Every structure is written in C-alpha cells, then in structure tokens.
Amino acid sequence: MIRRVLALAALLALVVFPVMAAAAQPQPRPITATFNGRGLELAPPAREISGRVYLPLRALVDVLQIRVKSSGGDIELALPDHDVRLSVGKAVVESAGQSVGIGAPVVQVDGSTFVPLRFVGAALGAQVAFDPRARVVSIVSLFAGSSEAPPTQNAAAARQVSGTVSAVDRNSQPPTLTVLQRGEPQTISMTSQAKIVLQDVSVHTTFAGSLADIQPGDELTASIDGEGAVNQVVDFFASRAGAIAAVSGGTFVLKNGGVVTPSGSSVLTLNGEATAVSDLRVGDRVTLRYNPQTGEVKAVIASRPSAGTPAPAGSVHIAAFTIDATHPLRAGQTLNVTLTGSPGGTATFDLGPIVRGLPMTESSPGHYRGSLPIGEGMNLTDVSVFGELVVNGAAAPRAEAPTQLSVATTPPQIDDIAPAGGESVNNDHPNIFATFTAPTQVGIDARSVRIVVNGRDVTAQANVNTDFVVYSPQQALGPGPVNVWVSVADAAGNTVSRSWSFSIRRSE
C-alpha cells in the first residue's frame, strides 16, 4: 500500500509540477513601437509568428499616410514615390516595379493583415529595428509622421482625386488644377475655402501653402465633398539642395556628386529671374524641386550672392542680412535672423523656396529681427535663407544670408547589432558592433559615438566612423552575460541609444 501511495505521489509530481512550472513562467511583454521617436499605437497588437516579429499593416499605412486598395488577398499601396503590391501568403512583394523579398510571407490573423519587419524597410523604404530586450520596434520614415502632417484620407470627402499635376491655371475664374489620375486628366476647380497643404517628402517637412506653390509635376491628393467643392489639397513634392561644382552644356554637377540635367519643361531661375543652365556658375546655390515618383526635375531655383551696385540715395535697400545658426539645428531650438536696411518698412525672411514670408519686427529704426522656433517634422539641408524689405510699396533687392541653414528633427537610427540580443556565442573575443544611419540629410557626428561593454567605456579602443562602431576586445571576455550600450548623435545633436545583451558559453 505504501508503495502504491509513493508511486502515486511520484506520478502526481511528474504531472503537476511541470504544469505549475510552466504556469509560473512569466509571459513575454507585449511588443510596442515608436515612429520617428514617438509612440505608435498598434491595433491589433504586434505578434511573433514562427520566431519573427509581425506588425499590423493597418497601423503602418495609417501613420505613413498611404493610400490603400485591396481585393481579396491582394493589396496595393500608393506611396508618394512608388507603389507596392503584396499578397497574403507570399514572401515576395512588388515595390516600384521590382520583386523584393521580405523574409517571410504576409499573413492574415482574425481578419487583420500582418507583415514581417523586413517589409517595412524593403518595401516601404522606412528604417526599422527591433530591440528584443526592450521588445520595442523603432520605425523611422521621411514620408510622414510630422506632428502637423495632414491626413491623405478625409472622412468628409465624397471622393478623392490623386495623381500628377499636369497644369495649373491661376488666371481662370475660379482657378483650376489638372491632375492625371492613372493617365486620365481630371480638372479641379479651386475656391478660396480650399485648404492647401504642402509636403516635401524628401526632407519630411509639412507646411501650409497657396495655389502659387503647386507646380506641374507634383503629386497631389484633393478631397472633394458631395457638392463638388474642394475641401483640402495635399501637394507632395521632393527637393534637394546643394552647391554647383561644374557646369557643362545642359548639365550641372553638385558638390555632393549629384548630376542634374533639367528637361525642356523644367523652370530655371537665378536670383528670382528666368535663366538657363548655361548661365549658372560654379558656386551657385541651387534647390531642385522634383517629382517624388519619377525623379524628374521640375524646377531649379538658383541663387548667387552678389555685392551688386550701390543703391541710389534714398532708395529702399538692405545693408546686411544674417542668421545666427552656425551648425544644424534640432527641435526645440530657434533660428534668429537680423536685417539692417531702410527704416520704417516691412521685413520678412524665406527659407529657400520652402517656407516664405516669415515676419520680422523693427526693433529700432532700420534694424529688423525675426525668429523661427524649430518644431518636430522640419528637416532641411543647406537651404539658403533670404531677407526681403518693403517700404511704402517699394521693395529692396532680395538679400541672401552668407551661411545656409540645416535642420534635423528626425533622430538617427541604430540598425544592425552583433552579436544579436539574446544570442549565445562560443567566442570569448567576439567582434561587437552596431551600424547606424541618419534618415535626414544631416549626417552622423562620429565624435558623438559611444560604446560601453559591461559597464566600461571602450570607445577609445573601438573603430568608429559615420556608419558603424566595432569593438574587438583585446582580452578574453569571461563566460556569462555581456551587456552592451551604444549611443550616437547626428550633427544637429539628436541622440539615440540602444542596449542589448548576449552571452558567452563556457568552453568545455
């Protein structure tokens, strides 16, 4: 009898204790996400499937402001610069006409579509990273995410017209826009009540605009109510700025290596006047405005500082115009501008062709000051800043500040790490590295990079550049966990850090 009781007790121990042990194991924390440094609500929640992290497609298209069409298991996404087609059950998508592998198939769970992490970078062009220790997905994208970013879907709209602007008639009553929607021209009558929002997708900047800002070649989405009135127009374009390094025939080369050959329909101006490529010179500053989908340059806005000729006595003039930014600015900082010229006038300043007519006040006769707080979502690179002055209806020649302005509010991204978080390695001299990128055109500051291993700053012993940091320990690391922390900042001072742990196996 005693033997039976002991045997029964042993059997119960085999059955009950494993169940209790399994129940005692903590459940993993839910996966959270950030978008351009801010919390991103995932509904439905992210999930792990077969060891891979999957994100709900709906949350991605909402935050990236992507137009969506679906038919059965086939889905089409229209980004500002390319289209993406994906199908449930397939691990390959079509992005900008090319087949792109995303590592794992698209799946549907409880009626919701989920995509693997690689889809975000490979197909949508965003940067994505997963910190398994913190269980946080970090997404950085230039296409959307500004606190002021407009929705491309309007609940009050009866219909939407989306496509490439082919013509702008500002002289008709009312003014009209012609948009090629899938090759078919659609004419839109604009009224003064229509809200116009401009979005530069290349520098992730959104701002209010007017009909004068919309140019042929832009991508546009117009929301139209049931009575045919335009409620809102969102105009998408891309821009790039730089200095000319060489000019040859109808082509010029920027100092960053970019080669530009404007088409016959491109509009070229130099200091506000119509010009030709042959009139441009080495050293001229240019801002290119181009179609975000085709890359075709639609406008070249060039400026050339010039001492000019002395202003006639009594004429309206600008004697000096300067900005105080000596390095790239970040969110929370302020740009201050100063203009000296004729007294008693109205002074304004422009950030290239992007933001215009910012007000200045006359602090004392002939001395004007202005400022612009840098908010989230503004990213500019080497943009010329101009000052304008009008006195009694007479305008002074436009003045350009001697230094350009750069702004970065989207932080850098730490992309790949090794050894991976949670990995176990049998090498006691592992190469520990992290790669990083700056999603804006303001680059990484290599001097800011820090790497700490097991609480010791080893930056001085690491190989550091603007793309990665690699630390190869000279002395063997003991068996057990290895804790790593990496921090990096861009030239504007936006900082990001990442920590993870791996372990070294004890050699047998």
Q: What is the 3-state secondary structure (H, E, C) of 205-271?
A: EEEECCHHHCCCCCEEEEEECCCCCEEEEEEEEEEEEEEEEEEECCEEEECCCCEECCCCCCEEEEC
Residue found under tokens 């399994």: 22
386 assigned to some structural domain: yes
Residue carrying the six token digits 């007790």:
9
Tens-digit pLDDT profile for residues 222-255: 888 877 788 888 887 878 878 899 999 999 998 8
Residues 152 and 299 grouped into a single domain: yes
Residue 304's pLDDT is what?
A: 80
pLDDT at 121: 76
Write the single-letter amino acid at 457.
Answer: D
Is the domain of 43 the same as that of 122?
A: yes
Q: Which of 195, 187, 197, 198 is nearest to 228 (CA)?
A: 187
Q: What letter does residue 102 receive in the DSSP assignment?
A: -
State pLDDT tens for residues 278-316: 999 998 888 888 877 677 888 888 888 765 555 565 689
Domain-located, residue 322: yes
Q: Look-up: residue for tokens 């990096």?
A: 488
The tokens of 205 are what?
């900047």
Q: Which amino acid would we find at residue 340?
A: T
Domain with 364 in it: what CATH number?
Answer: 2.60.40.10
- What's the pTM value of the predicted model, to 2 decimals? 0.61
| 232 and 187 both lie in a single domain | yes
Q: Which domain holds residue 292?
A: 148-304
Whose tokens are 């309007």? That residue is 154
- Tokens 């900005």, located at residue: 323
Structure-token pair, residue 496: 């990001």
Are 352 and 469 within one domain?
no
Task: Grade residue 484 by pLDDT with cuts at 50, 70 and 90.
Answer: very high
* pLDDT class of 342 with cuts at 50, 70, 90: very high
Q: What is the pLDDT of residues 447-457, one digit of tens each?
A: 999 999 999 99
Q: Percentage of the chain surpassing pLDDT 90?
A: 34
Helix (H, G, I), strand (E, B) or coil at 176: strand
* Domains contained in the chain, number: 4
The Cα–Cα gap between 131 and 453 comes to 17
Instruction: Kindly indicate the confidence band of residue 23, based on its pLDDT and cuts at 50, 70 and 90.
Output: very low
* The Cα angle at residue 478 between residues 473 and 480, in degrees rounded to 5: 115
Q: Are residues 171 and 264 in the same domain?
A: yes
Shared-domain flag, residues 420 and 403: no
Please indicate, yes or no, whether residues 199 and 82 belong to a single structural domain of this protein.
Answer: no
How confident is residue 5, by pLDDT bands cut at 50, 70 and 90? Answer: very low
Are 155 and 298 part of one and the same domain? yes
- Whether 379 is in a domain gets the answer yes
pLDDT of residue 198: 80
Token pair recorded at residue 335: 């740009």
For residue 156, the Cα-to-chain-centroid distance in whole angstroms is: 28
